[in-house]
Amino acid sequence: MAFWKPGTIAPGSAVDRDTENETDKAVIAHAEQQFRHLTIKQQRERLPVFKLRRELLYLIDNYQTVIVVGQTGCGKTTQIPQYLDEAGWTTNGKQVACTQPRRIAATSVAERVAEEKNCRLGSEVGYLIRFEDQTSQQTRIKYMTDGMLFRETMIDPLLSRYSVIMIDEAHERSLYTDILLGVIKKIQKKRSDLRVIISSATLDAEAFYRFFNHNTSTTDKGKDTATIISLEGRMYPVDILYSDKPVDDYVEKSIQTVFDIHTKEPAGDILIFLTGREEIDTVVAELYERSRTLPERSMTLMPLPLYAGLTSEEQLQIFQPTPPHSRKVIVSTNIAEASVTLEGIVYVIDCGFVKVRAYNPKTGMEALVVTPVSKASALQRAGRAGRVRPGKAFRLYTEETYSTLQDTSIPEIQRSNLAPVILQLKALGIDNVLRFDFLTPPPAELMIRALELLYSLNALDDVGRLTIPLGIHLAEFPVDPMLGKILLASGDFKCSEEIVSIAAILSVQKVFINPSGKSTTKDQTILDSRRKFWVEEGDHLSLLNVYNAFIKHKSGKWCHDRFLNFKALSRAISIRQQLVRYLKRFKVPMISALKHFDNEKASEQIRKCLTSGYFAQAARAEQDGSGRFRTIRDNVLLSIHPDSVLFNRNPQWVVFHEVVETNQAYMRDLTVIEPDWLTELAPHFYEFKGDSKK
């Protein structure tokens, strides 16, 4: 095998296999299963975190901020809030909050803890995520998404109901985690009683410590207000094996590595990390194809794809136990790095790359770029092999390449559109966002671009304050400012019923399903079913047709037959209800253009309304017949996404919801407009560019 484990004599030498003796079949039994017979109390006391319970509580008493460095499986997320509850931090009606970057984590951890405390979910232990409030007056331990806690700061700026706030998975540096860190640091100055726990991976602990330590003396550690404590994990060792020479085609190499493992290593499932759907489908197909050449008596190879866009049925297969005499090979995107946990993985193959979204402030466009992973990511990926027994991680790059990797990935806040963030910070009374205390500040040009957009939407005035009421309302709205703007304008255009449906459906992920392995623009059945919703004015009105048809049926079968995503559409209904509540509060009348006007006029009203918010994202067809477009504002070259209704239809002027740059820059979700509308609806933005129409 062309992998070399550091510290061994040669690639593939027998010394590499020294862990094999330990991997006896008896050990394969799921780690958790072995302890099923223990009482909950015994199980809790088995966790590594338990040994440090007293020390942890002592530190929380004595430091404003405690940084907890804990590996996977040490029990910090479930146990620390319970220790705090038991130690009296929830008396006098105070609560302990624990934030998570993902909804699924908040709900599942809360369920687990309620079970441990033998109470009903929503009583002493609860969770809070968008659309689901499982808390009550009695709730003392509250798991929630970081976005929800941030939203609470708008209502209760000092977060006064909490005695302790634990920011879990802080090393992931999600957008809202980063904003919360800054806001909480500000709150600490006014609330010396508030305790903050930051849970992080090793590599970032020092940065959090420096950020939260208010001690100005460099010599007297006794005045520190922050401290670090480390918890050991409960993981099995994972051997890291590097490629002995650079790999030029990691897709092919990953396939070869699967067969190397399959023929030379004992039983145990394989997890492969690749960057995207296309690579994954290729590898899955190749593995099927080549596994036919395996000797008859060898174990069956079961290749399975894993990415977010899979249907629920496809996802179910992943979690089925591996049948006897078989080896699952899960070929996955980065989703398996933190979001999805798979049992039974013993071997990990890491291609060393990940697809990330990068925001370009010069053009306001987002690009999806394949970039090398960070060391932290590589470590996390390898760790996925050590959950049930000692495992092996095959890195499809050399050890030298590894040494050149960044320690951690670039935080989201440094590569996002900051317009919504700035609005929300301003709503909290943080006027000078450029001087806000970020753990790592976003680049200035990202800030400036966002400020310009907010100014052009009239959300900010000449001196950068929120306008009343528009800016205030946009800050409160749980949607992007441009989408918020059309919602608030929709009453004036007499099409609020339609715009709120469009906004809801734009807020959910893919409505149309692309079955894996099928080309959706070639498959006639899929194409025909999609065309029933199409209108020539573009995607927004087509999506409105989908929504309106869906609410008449609301059935999973109806969706399934039409290749529509039932879960996404159901979620759109919830989002629509929430948006309508906001519009009522903002005194926007609910009017249906389709009931008020004939179809043509209704379509015009809706498209004008869209233009009134998306004027900064307008484009015009190139006159050379290439089918390409240029943005009006920055003259950036764009194409129509092949999934769009308007693909190959040659519209002249369009506004678009978003751009995604892959091999080319593609506009997604676009609508045909008249050029005059731009100068009519956004004169402040286009008055100097009137000649661009010629």
Partner DNA sequence: GAGCACTGC
Contact residues toward DNA (CB under 7 A) are: 101-104, 129-130, 145, 147-148, 151, 174-176, 275-278, 307-309, 333-335, 339, 354-357, 368, 420, 478-480, 507, 509-510, 514, 519-522, 641-643, 647-648, 658, 660, 662-664, 666, 668
Minimum separation from the CB atom of position 57 to DNA (A): 30
| Nearer of residues 222 and 625 to DNA, judged by Cβ | 625
| Nearer of residues 237 and 642 to DNA, judged by Cβ | 642
DSSP-derived letter for residue 201 is: -
> What are the residues facing 243 on neighbouring strands?
3
Distance CA 82, CA 407 (A): 33
Distance CA 65, CA 631 (A): 48
Beta-sheet pairing, 365-372 with 345-350: unpaired
Minimum separation from the CB atom of position 479 to DNA (A): 6
| Nearer of residues 69 and 354 to DNA, judged by Cβ | 354
Establish whether the linkage from the previous residue to 469 is cis, with ω within 30° of 0. yes
DSSP characters for 540-578?
A: HHHHHHHHHHHHHH--HHHHHHTTB-HHHHHHHHHHHHH
Minimum separation from the CB atom of position 690 to DNA (A): 33
Tell me if residue 178 falls in helix, strand or coil: helix
Distance CA 344, CA 236 (A): 12
Distance CA 28, CA 387 (A): 10
| Nearer of residues 184 and 479 to DNA, judged by Cβ | 479
Minimum separation from the CB atom of position 626 to DNA (A): 11
Tell me if residue 200 falls in helix, strand or coil: strand
Minimum separation from the CB atom of position 662 to DNA (A): 4
Tell me if residue 39 falls in helix, strand or coil: coil
| Nearer of residues 4 and 162 to DNA, judged by Cβ | 162
Minimum separation from the CB atom of position 338 to DNA (A): 9
DSSP characters for 257-278?
A: HHHHHHHHS-S-EEEEE-SSHH
Backbone angles phi, psi at 281, to 5 degrees: -60, -40
Contact, 614 vs 655, CB < 8 A?
yes
Strands of the 326-332 sheet, one edge to the other: 3-4, 238-243, 391-395, 345-350, 269-273, 326-332, 300-306
DSSP-derived letter for residue 220 is: -
Contact, 245 vs 397, CB < 8 A?
no
Minimum separation from the CB atom of position 151 to DNA (A): 4
Distance CA 527, CA 520 (A): 7
| Nearer of residues 2 and 368 to DNA, judged by Cβ | 368
What are the angstrom distances between the C-alpha of 165 and each of 44, 51, 126, 162?
22, 22, 15, 7
Is 117 buried (19+), middle (13-18) or exposed (0-12) by CB count in 10 A? Answer: middle
Q: What SS3 string covers 107-166? A: HHHHHHHHHHCCCCECCCEEEEECCEEECCCCCCEEEEEHHHHHHHHHHCCCCCCEEEEE
| Nearer of residues 83 and 533 to DNA, judged by Cβ | 533
Contact, 481 vs 393, CB < 8 A?
no
Minimum separation from the CB atom of position 87 to DNA (A): 28
Question: What single-letter amino acid sits at 621?
Answer: A
Minimum separation from the CB atom of position 392 to DNA (A): 25
Minimum separation from the CB atom of position 669 to DNA (A): 8
| Nearer of residues 243 and 275 to DNA, judged by Cβ | 275
| Nearer of residues 124 and 480 to DNA, judged by Cβ | 480
| Nearer of residues 460 and 568 to DNA, judged by Cβ | 568
Minimum separation from the CB atom of position 65 to DNA (A): 24
Distance CA 661, CA 573 (A): 29
Contact, 143 vs 109, CB < 8 A?
yes
| Nearer of residues 133 and 680 to DNA, judged by Cβ | 133
DSSP-derived letter for residue 649 is: S
Contact, 307 vs 279, CB < 8 A?
no
Minimum separation from the CB atom of position 273 to DNA (A): 11
Distance CA 309, CA 312 (A): 9
Minimum separation from the CB atom of position 514 to DNA (A): 6
Q: Measuring CA to CA, which residue among 338, 337, 352, 342 is closest to residue 253? A: 352
Distance CA 470, CA 489 (A): 10
| Tokens of residue 265, six digits | 């290593």
Minimum separation from the CB atom of position 420 to DNA (A): 6
| Nearer of residues 30 and 130 to DNA, judged by Cβ | 130
Minimum separation from the CB atom of position 507 to DNA (A): 6
How many other C-beta atoms lie within 10 A of the C-beta of residue 548?
14
| Nearer of residues 389 and 657 to DNA, judged by Cβ | 657
| Nearer of residues 56 and 129 to DNA, judged by Cβ | 129
| Nearer of residues 14 and 370 to DNA, judged by Cβ | 370
Minimum separation from the CB atom of position 97 to DNA (A): 13
| Nearer of residues 47 and 367 to DNA, judged by Cβ | 367
* CA angle, residues 565, 619, 467, in degrees to nearest 5: 85
Backbone angles phi, psi at 315, to 5 degrees: -70, -35
